[in-house]
Chain A
């Protein structure tokens, strides 16, 4: 059986005529069928080969669930009793998930349910907005399986007492596991939430996750979003995080990539109202054969918006880091302030960095800047540390940790920050 047939069969088996999502799913499937998977000749995918990840060994569809104990053992330290959304093989599992905040503040339910109840108008209006930015088949493929997704709403004026942690479990014990989680988040006016995503491979086989997360923020809402990828080098990932500011609000995203075979992250900030503010931070700390590709888009449609972006990469071994940062300033978006910076350090003699800023500005009264660097560790700093008796390994670790701190410090939640710091320190093999 070839990949197309495997996906077709899974699609047919999982589609339900009773769902409010069936029209969306069918349309997505048709798009996927027309577009196919992106090839290297596709401008947005020139460094990142994903077609070969889709083999005829691919296993899709829901299977046996892990136990509650297994789930618990992967919880982020300090967030064990926090709000949690559990995905297994790309399907939302309500019975393993946990809502800590009161239901007067937070609603979490299946996307399928939301498509049929009072949230249906919101779902209908906002689900699939990211497809306008990604006409490459991979986004559409996720849409075809949206029925397994989750919907989350933070109610008007409410500030969540604890982060919402989304755990993506992929069970690869029977072979290459393909998961397609779908998330739709609605942050109502004046509400505040922290959303953190984490990915876990439960087997020793390969995993491939194709995710789409769409978030809308309303007037004066605040969103902190953190994506931590350390699923191991048998895991590949294509994900889109699409954040729309429907009204003046503050959004803040931190993306940290520590391992993987092929990792592609799209992060879109769509500024649809005046005086919006968005921050985008990223750290990719790579080794081995990992390829991590971060594509970001800031789309300024309205005046007086501010965006700031800083991505940092450290590449060891044969790893490759790719950064592509697009900033659109539409003709009505006067007084836009948009800043972008990408800094890379190459450690491994066979490592590589590709960086490309892309500014498309159609307004005449804006402040935009971008900059990128690719370099080695500062030799003078390294010598200074070594001259004090610090081994070359620890001197490197100290300097790289300091380089990474700029991004780590941006994580506001102390538990999430401590967790990320611990992963990074472990990776840098700090031995004192």
Chain B
């Protein structure tokens, strides 16, 4: 589904990704872990198409298409979804109006008719249950004045509405208490299927208790330095990132 080869990227003059290789197949859940500043969020942003980052090398194939050639909106329409670490507050645009626009633009791209008001409402109600989000929240301005937990639940709600093939969760666990974390994780688990895939970016192992990954990768200094199964996450939790740093530095000497 997603094949990243030797991906390199920088912001302004700073090299951040220094050759990432990663392959994700349908039905898989991959976790990317790593210390602060290792490039985790950069990877998520580059995949979603944030223009502040400049790709300086490598390639990304998404379902047979050159992902890096697509605009952010076309990436989304092709089935990529980024759950933001910091969802943006947009005064004056209601979540309902926003998500309706997004869903119908995607349907248009796929050659489908737009959902009528009744169909849209039905779908929305069904997906709202998934993340226990309230109607009143959705008629308010997008994320404006939402608590941290409400923002993250709103991200997962949008994901449910857009039904992406590949969802990237960028530090979705940050700022969540355990109840909110459970709700968010539960929403993700409900959406898991043999046809879609997830890339979970996180600093802590905590989220992976609830969203159990098939593969865990450790990102350090712009490269994936370790890959393994979910046991690798537990090892990191136990030993901390310093042991990885030490090992990597030993190898490069």
Contact = CB atoms under 8 A, between A and B. Distances in A.
Interface string B96-130: 01110110111011000010000000000000000
B248 interface: no
B150 to A, nearest CB: 16
A1 interface: no
A390 B92 contact: no
Nearest to B84: A384
A384 B76 contact: no
A392 interface: yes
Contacts of A378: 88
Given A387-B49, A387-B76, A389-B109, A401 B102 contact: no
Interface in A194-222: none
A405 B92 contact: yes
Interface string A390-404: 111011001101110
B22 interface: no
B211 interface: no
B37 to A, nearest CB: 20
Contacts of A380: 88
Nearest to B104: A432
B50 interface: yes
B92 A381 contact: no
Contacts of A399: 90, 93
Interface in A373-432: 378-381, 383-392, 394-395, 398-399, 401-403, 405-406, 432
Contact of A390 (B81, B101, B141): B101
Q: B82, B102, B162: which has the most chain A beta carbons within 10 Å?
A: B102
Contacts of B92: 401-403, 405-406
B42 interface: no
B91 A389 contact: no
A302 B63 CA distance: 71
Given A394-B105, A398-B98, A386 B72 contact: yes
B90 A402 contact: yes
Contacts of B51: 379, 383
Contacts of A406: 92
Contacts of A395: 73
Interface string B56-91: 000000000000000111011100011010011011
Nearest to A409: B92
A386 B84 contact: no
Nearest to B77: A389
B158 interface: yes
Interface in B223-242: none
Contacts of A386: 49, 71-73, 76
Given A402-B90, A402-B93, A403-B92, A385 B105 contact: no
Contacts of B199: none
B98 A388 contact: yes
A389 B93 contact: no
A389 B159 CA distance: 12
A-B pairs, top 6 by smallest CB distance, nearest first, are A402-B92, A389-B76, A386-B72, A384-B88, A388-B102, A386-B73
Interface of A: 378-381, 383-392, 394-395, 398-399, 401-403, 405-406, 432
24 contacts: A378-B88, A383-B51, A383-B72, A383-B88, A384-B88, A385-B98, A386-B76, A387-B76, A388-B102, A388-B162, A389-B76, A389-B162, A390-B73, A390-B102, A390-B105, A394-B101, A398-B93, A398-B97, A399-B93, A401-B92, A402-B92, A402-B93, A432-B104, A432-B105
Interface of B: 48-52, 71-73, 75-77, 81-82, 84, 87-88, 90-93, 97-99, 101-102, 104-106, 108-109, 114, 141, 158, 162
Given A394-B105, A395-B73, A398-B97, 15 more contacts: A378-B88, A381-B88, A383-B88, A385-B102, A386-B71, A386-B76, A387-B72, A387-B73, A388-B158, A389-B73, A389-B77, A389-B102, A389-B105, A390-B101, A399-B90
